[in-house]
Amino acid sequence: MKFRFLSAACALACQPWAALAQSTSAEAGQSDGNFRLGEIIVTGHTGQGLEIGDSTIGQEAIFTFNRVTLDDATNLIPGVTAGNSGGSRNERLLFVRGFDRFQVPLSIDGIRVYLPADNRLDFGRFLTPDVAEIQVAKGYASVLDGPGAMGGAVNLVTRKPIKALEAEVRGTIGFDRDLDYANHTIFALLGTRQEHWYAQASYARSFIDHWTLPSAFVVKAPANEDGGERDFSRAEDWRVNVKAGVTPNATDEYSISYTRQEGSKNAPLHVSDTSNASTRNWSWPYWNIESYYFLSSTRLGKATLKTRAFYSNYDNLLSSWDNRSQNSQTLPRAFNSPYADTAYGGSAQLAAQLTPTDTLTAAFHYRHDEHRETQISRPGLSTSAPEPLQVSAERNWSIAVENKLDVTPALKLTLGTSYEWRDLDRAEEWNATQGLFSFPLRNAAGWNGQGRLDWSGEHNMQAHVSLSSRVRFPTLFERFSSQFGTAEPNPDLLPERATNAEIGGSKQVGPLRVTGALFYSWLNDALVSVRLASNRNQRTNIGSADYYGGEISVDAQITPALQLGGNYSHITRKFDVGSAPAGGFIRQFQLTDVPENKGIVYATWQPAHGLSLTPSLEFAGKRVTVTPATANADIPAYYKTGNYVLTNLTIDYEITNRFTIGAGVRNAFDELYQLTDGFPEPGRSLFLTLRAKY
């Protein structure tokens, strides 16, 4: 039975320092269209225009590189890797310095998106055309921004009007390698900014009819795929965002927002694994999120109070079918599994300037999640009846304190700590043997601590060192899921913990800017699946791991017409599964999905007025994956996928300062590559774009 939990909560940014952090003051950055109330604290160089920062990527770069979904866009940032879950879910993934979607929270305007049953977020469902900036906190994520950031945090910052009348319309049409229509994306925005108020509405939609496999793909019998157009690759997503706010003075702001996104998708099958045990014909007829936000910032003398409140609905349906045609649901494996979840909560953050060089900030977070599910097995039979409604409910709390001290004009010290706890109020399940029952209710808590030292020298030289220790609570799925009868619950699972250390810096030399960092992460109490004497699996806290590596970013404005940039990341991950409890054993296990090396190099050249050419090369080394096609399920067949180099090109022509047309190609040489076993990635694709703005 599938679990999915949904919820939200996060925090806000206090006012970081000049070049080392993203400013969040009411006076800062009103000209760039970022919704400042929706930002979190990230440290590092911020990308401007087409430039890719080491912790952010802005809308111009997202548009130029034609990155419509969150996973595709963040893959440009050093230390962030996009992936594919494969399997019957076929979800798009993100890894931040090796940490996965369970360990790196996702937020929209600082409000966390959390699927409480299993938190299996599909990052391909989150669109980017209406996003002003994507922020990624890597390793060191401020305790003020809320719980759960064991390995970092990702935040989508929506746009905000900066002119009295602001409008934009954008359209992209995509073609496959045979020049047949494949997809389209549309985006529209209308907003106004007045002296003491603003309002804005935006709409984004992405429709994928199909994508094609590279021409080098060879069909090997037995097969689920015949090449050409990828079977079951159709998907549709749209999002509307409406916000209004008042700015009664230069320091205060109060905003309300409404966001709704809807999606539907199919799931391509493993190209060669045709076994009945592995091949599941699953589809998601709807995957929807609806949220209401209130965000504020109020100056109180020498203090600033920032608040957030939210209410969210999460609805989705997973359908399992008898066959590829998806026209029958009568076999024992067929079901409809709808989820209807809600979340509400908020946060308050008070920053007080104790002295001109010392600021103390306290934050409080609360989130309540309720997960509701009921499954209908074999719905194609007239005798089928839904299971009784099953409800799970949790409350999450966090209190945090952070102190920022200017030790000297060039040296800044930040120390922070937080305590977070989770109260499980309800955890229901149903099966044919026990009927409706409740799992044992267990609560959990944990401390977090961190410190960071920043130094600014002459000639734009900066350096930093940081140490952070954070926890992450296991999901309901990890504690209670029976995984179709193959697993035993473990209500007493402890939080995982990661300690992240980093040293880095940046230097500007004429037109050249270089930014780099070295990092090391230790994981303790990591979850490991153990095979029990009952021949069932159970998760337990016996694992430990070491993640370490480095990143470097380079960008240079060589001439007014030529800009160069690029970044490179290296990461090594080692995992110790520990010792199995008496009577049990641990199956073969390796960390998957993250290559040791990845990067991008790009250039933007303007050979004539209004004409811009942006070629780029994306590359990644081999990554470990696992194939389900093995004679013994207890001995997974791990191996490394091949490395790849993708060639891309975008050409834009600005007819006027309000109207731009463009064209481009992704994977120009139609390279065949895969991120996970049995799921090759798209081949060559082309696109045309139109953009009009006022």
How many other CB atoms are found less than 10 A from the CB of residue 634? 10
Does residue 4 carry a pLDDT above 70?
no
The confidence score (pLDDT) of residue 621 equals 96
What's the whole-number mean pLDDT along residues 519-538? Answer: 90
How confident is the model over 143-172, as pLDDT tens digits?
999 999 999 999 999 999 999 999 999 999
Annotate 399-447 with three-state secondary structure.
EEEEEEEEEECCEEEEEEEEEEEEEEEEEEEEECCCEEEECCCCCEEEE
The confidence score (pLDDT) of residue 121 equals 92
Cα 271 from chain centre: 27
The confidence score (pLDDT) of residue 511 equals 92
What's the whole-number mean pLDDT along residues 111-135? Answer: 92
* Confidence bin at 628 (pLDDT 50/70/90): confident
Cα 283 from chain centre: 22
What's the whole-number mean pLDDT along residues 280-293? Answer: 94
Does residue 504 carry a pLDDT above 50?
yes
Q: Which amino acid is at 677?
A: D
The confidence score (pLDDT) of residue 635 equals 55
The confidence score (pLDDT) of residue 26 equals 33
The confidence score (pLDDT) of residue 40 equals 85
Most confident of 233-237, 458-462, 482-486: 233-237
Instruction: State phi, psi for 135 to the nearest 5 degrees.
Output: -105, 140
Instruction: Report the first-to-last Cα separation within the chain, whole angstroms.
Output: 50
Pair 261, 288: CB distance under 8 Å: yes
Q: Name the residue with higher pLDDT: 11 or 524.
A: 524
Does residue 432 carry a pLDDT above 90?
no
pTM of the model: 0.92
* Confidence bin at 483 (pLDDT 50/70/90): confident
How many other CB atoms are found less than 10 A from the CB of residue 81? 23
How confident is the model over 260-279, as pLDDT tens digits?
999 999 999 999 888 766 67
If DSSP codes are grouped into helix, strand and coil, which group holds residue 123?
helix
How confident is the model over 196-232, as pLDDT tens digits?
999 999 999 999 999 999 999 999 888 899 999 999 9
How many other CB atoms are found less than 10 A from the CB of residue 78? 27
What's the whole-number mean pLDDT along residues 681-694? Answer: 97
How confident is the model over 540-575, as pLDDT tens digits?
999 999 999 999 999 999 999 999 999 999 999 999
Does residue 33 carry a pLDDT above 60?
yes
Q: Taking the alpha carbons of 266, 270, 274, 276 in that order, is the dihedral positive or negative?
A: negative
Does residue 20 carry a pLDDT above 90?
no
If DSSP codes are grouped into helix, strand and coil, which group holds residue 70?
helix
The confidence score (pLDDT) of residue 115 equals 86
Domain boundaries, given as residue ranges, for the chain: 36-693
Name residues whose C-beta falls within 8 Å of residue 272's C-beta, 6 or more positions apart in sequence.
220, 222, 223, 224, 629, 678
What the block records as the tokens of 157 is: 């910052």
Query: What's the CATH number for 36-693?
Result: 2.40.170.20
Pair 537, 531: CB distance under 8 Å: yes
Distance CA 240, CA 200 (A): 11
Distance CA 588, CA 145 (A): 37
* Confidence bin at 459 (pLDDT 50/70/90): confident
Pair 279, 687: CB distance under 8 Å: no
How confident is the model over 62-108, as pLDDT tens digits?
999 999 999 999 999 999 999 999 888 889 999 999 999 999 999 99
The confidence score (pLDDT) of residue 18 equals 32
